[in-house]
Amino acid sequence: MSMFCYQCQEAAGGKGCQVKGVCGKNEDVAKLQDLLIYTLKGISDIVVKAGLSAKDLSSVNHEVLKSLFMTITNANFDEAAIETEVNRAIALRNELRTSAAGVAGLHDAAVFEVSGRAGMLLKAASVGVLATENEDVRSLRELIIYGVKGLAAYTHHALNLGKENVDIYDFTYKALAATLDDTLSADDLVALTLKTGEFGVAGMALLDSANTTKYGNPEITQVNIGVKNNPAILISGHDLTDLEQLLEQTKGTGVDVYTHSEMLPAHYYPAFKKYDNFVGNYGNAWWKQTEEFQSFNGPILFTTNCIVPPRSEEVRSRIFTTGASGFPGCVHIEADENGKKDFSEIIALAKTLSAPTEIENGTIVGGFAHEQVFALADKVVDAVKSGAIKKFFVMAGCDGRMKSREYYEQFAEKLPKDTVILTAGCAKYRYNKLDLGDIGGIPRVLDAGQCNDSYSLALIALKLKEVFELNDINELPIAYNIAWYEQKAVIVLLALLYLGVKNIHLGPTLPAFLSPNVAKVLVETFGIGGIGTVDEDIKMFMGA
């Protein structure tokens, strides 16, 4: 059996990648990732069957988080790094099994042994997604696993800031172990899917509190999208502690720092405004990096996804990775035991390279996370009451390279002028540079931040529900037209479902991993829908 992966929106043919990933993931990486996930399920099997508690499993918890994160789309393409992680996970699993001696009925995932890369690949061929034969059970198991991967990513960022919630770890073990349990019914798995959403809310809340406690609450900010004349480093991904360390190490060196893609919202945090060399955002969503990294000229640091395999050796030589991200041939910077990272090699390289070539100029505005929007609440509520704002559109999520995503740009452009877009995640790049105007001083695109800051959008909705004294969040004049790509969007979606949000439209295509029956449950229970044409959808959303 060759590889099989259908975890992201770009799954080949809308079904699954079987030869090579559309993302660039090769067969060996896909299989090693499958084996890594299987090993994590084995760890979880032991934890659950032995009745262990996450509060006593610190190093295992952290390794599981990192491993899950490494398998997220576009995070890590480095076979050697994933092989090392499989070995680490197996060693931890075996220690755990020894300490839980006497526990009966462990699953193969908890006991299998392999030797070397060849042994791993052989084993992986029988434990991947297709090992579950029933397509509905497979669909629900994978939905839960992808949600747990997204949750792990957010929890990992919080952990880097010293914040943890052991209940999330306990749930992660429970959920992963459940995906091995053939006695669970489809109904049990649907219930577990919603539970995953509940922990999604907890995970995003944890990260929100970790970020805002350390860096302050995001505030309205104009971000420069042009360039200066100094050599510079581009930082991509989602991890704010990595950015903080890079800014500390580059200040006073004559090297500027620019954000890329999901790092843009870092500019909204008060704590980062004190760095004179933190000059702006360069480029757009992740999938445009092939051209944009060429013209950036300087080194690029990936803290997480989304990496696109570089086409030229020259660009590859400028790419560095850290945390869960990795790419073969690129230098990977590890943290020391105190979490400190030494970026001096990147800074030294930057000094030898040219300043970025300008590709855009001007500014974009953002920073509309919960506290900033609450500060504007009176203005917003008045605008709704007076009819100046008829409807809000939550258009959070991800961007991607499919041509059909032009829908989102056109949708934003064609929306009636008395509507406001609430966004978060890299989906915003489809419309955050359009001149959509404002309503009485409130910009028509309010960017809360990264994909995890969709949590802010949920808080804003709950606040509006309270102000307007409504019983149900679905009575608000808010429509949800969400673009998804990878597994963090899955946890955001499950979190919204858990909060009771109905009638979410998801595009540009529904997940390949939803079997027809599981899709039916989502449609019937939550009113989930796809997208149609821009004009028809706007009519439908506006209730015309």
- Is the separation of the CB atoms in 306 and 286 below 8 Å? yes
Which C-beta is closer to ligand SF3: that of 107 or that of 488? 488
Q: Single out the segment in contact with ligand SF3 by CB under 6 A; choices: 39-47, 192-200, 486-494, 502-510.
A: 486-494
Structure tokens at 164: 């943890």
Shortest spacing between CB 434 and ligand SF3, in angstroms: 19
Query: What is the C-alpha to C-alpha distance for residues 441 and 165, in angstroms, rounded to an integer?
Result: 39
Please give the backbone phi and psi of residue 404, each rounded to the nearest 5 degrees, phi first.
-60, -15
CB 144 within 8 A of CB 157: no
> What SS3 class is residue 216?
coil
Residue 79 is a binding residue for ligand SF3 (CB under 6 A): no
Q: Convert residues 439-478 into a mask of x (bound to ligand SF3 by CB under 6 A) and - (unbound).
A: -----------xx---------------------------
The verdict on 124 binding ligand SF4 (CB under 6 A) reads no
The site string for ligand SF4 over 24-43 (x = CB under 6 A, - otherwise) reads -x------------------
Q: Which two tokens stand for residue 118?
A: 């060849």
> Residue 22 binds what, of ligand SF3, ligand SF4, none (CB under 5 to 8 Å, by partner type)?
ligand SF4
Spell out the residues 6+ positions from residue 67 whose beta carbon is closer than 8 angstroms to its own: 36, 37, 39, 40, 85, 89
State which of residues 489, 494, 531, 534 lies at the interface with ligand SF3 (CB under 6 A): 489
Q: How many positions of this chain bind ligand SF3 (CB under 6 A)? A: 16
Residue whose CB is less far from ligand SF3, 155 or 305: 305
* Contact mark string toward ligand SF4, 62..81, x via CB under 6 A: -----------x--------
Which residue, 261 or 432, is less far from ligand SF3 as judged by CB? 261
Which CB atom, from 29 or from 458, has the smaller least distance to ligand SF4? 29
Q: Is 485 in the site for ligand SF3 (CB under 6 A)?
A: yes
Contact call for residues 234 and 260 (beta carbons, < 8 A): yes
The number of angstroms, rounded, from the C-alpha of 262 to the middle of its chain's C-alpha atoms is 9
Q: Among 1, 2, 8, 101, which residue interacts with ligand SF4 (rule: CB under 6 A)? A: 8
Number of C-alpha atoms within 13 angstroms, CB side, residue 134?
A: 12
Ramachandran quadrant class, 131 (left: phi over 0; alpha: psi -120 to 50; beta: rest): alpha
Contact between 282 and ligand SF3 by CB under 6 A: the answer reads no
**Residue 364: partners with Cβ closer than 8 Å, 6 or more residues away:** 222, 223, 225, 281, 432, 433
Binding partner at 244 among ligand SF4, ligand SF3, none, C-beta below 5 to 8 Å by kind: none
Q: How many CB atoms lie within 10 A of CB 359?
A: 16
- 450 interface partner picked from ligand SF4, ligand SF3, none, CB below 5 to 8 A per type: ligand SF3
The answer to whether 47 and 84 have CB atoms below 8 angstroms apart is no
Q: Of the listed pieces 5-13, 95-103, 220-228, 366-374, which binds ligand SF4 according to CB under 6 A?
A: 5-13
Number of residues that bind ligand SF4 (CB under 6 A): 12
Whole-angstrom Cα distance, residue 227 to residue 430?
21
- Minimum Å gap between C-beta 209 and ligand SF4 is 30
Write the CA distances from 447 to 220, 347, 456, integer angstroms: 9, 31, 10
Burial class (CB in 10 A: 0-12, 13-18, 19+), 12: middle
CA nearest neighbour of 258 among 280, 283, 238: 280
Q: CB of residue 77 vs ligand SF4: minimum separation in angstroms?
A: 10
| Nearest distance in Å: CB 489, ligand SF3 | 6
Q: End-to-end distance of the chain based on CA atoms, in angstroms?
A: 50
451 binds, among ligand SF4, ligand SF3, none (CB under 5 to 8 A by kind): ligand SF3
283-322 positions binding ligand SF3, by CB under 6 A: 286, 305-306
**Using rule CB under 6 A, residue 286 touches ligand SF4:** no
What distance lies between CA 525 and its chain's CA centroid?
25
Q: Classify residue 116 by burial, with Cβ atoms within 10 Å: 0-12, 13-18, 19+.
A: exposed
State which of positions 384-403 bind ligand SF3 (CB under 6 A): 398
* DSSP reduced 3-state for 83: helix
Shortest distance, CB of residue 272 to ligand SF4, whole angstroms? 31
Question: Taking the mean position of all CA atoms in its chain, how far away is CA 446?
Answer: 19
> How do strand 363-366 and strand 221-224 relate by DSSP bridges?
antiparallel
DSSP strand E in 438-484: where?
438-439, 442-443, 445-447, 478-483
Pick from 23, 129, 206, 227: which binds ligand SF4 (CB under 6 A)?
A: 23
Max Cα–Cα distance, the chain, nearest Å: 69
- The residue nearest ligand SF4 at its CB is 21
Q: Is 262 in the site for ligand SF3 (CB under 6 A)?
A: yes
- 178 or 306: CB nearest ligand SF3: 306
Q: Which of residues 39-78 bind ligand SF3 (CB under 6 A)?
A: 74
Q: Which of 6, 18, 10, 11 is nearest to 403 (CA)?
A: 10
**In the complex with ligand SF4, which residue's Cβ is closer, 7 or 372?**
7
Nearer to ligand SF3, 276 or 406 (CB): 406
Contact between 259 and ligand SF3 by CB under 6 A: the answer reads no
Can residue 158 be called a binding residue for ligand SF3 (CB under 6 A)?
A: no
Which residues of the shown chain bind ligand SF3 in the complex (CB under 6 A)? 74, 238, 261-262, 286, 305-306, 398, 425-426, 450-451, 485-486, 488-489
Which residues of the shown chain bind ligand SF4 in the complex (CB under 6 A)? 5-8, 10-11, 17, 21-23, 25, 73
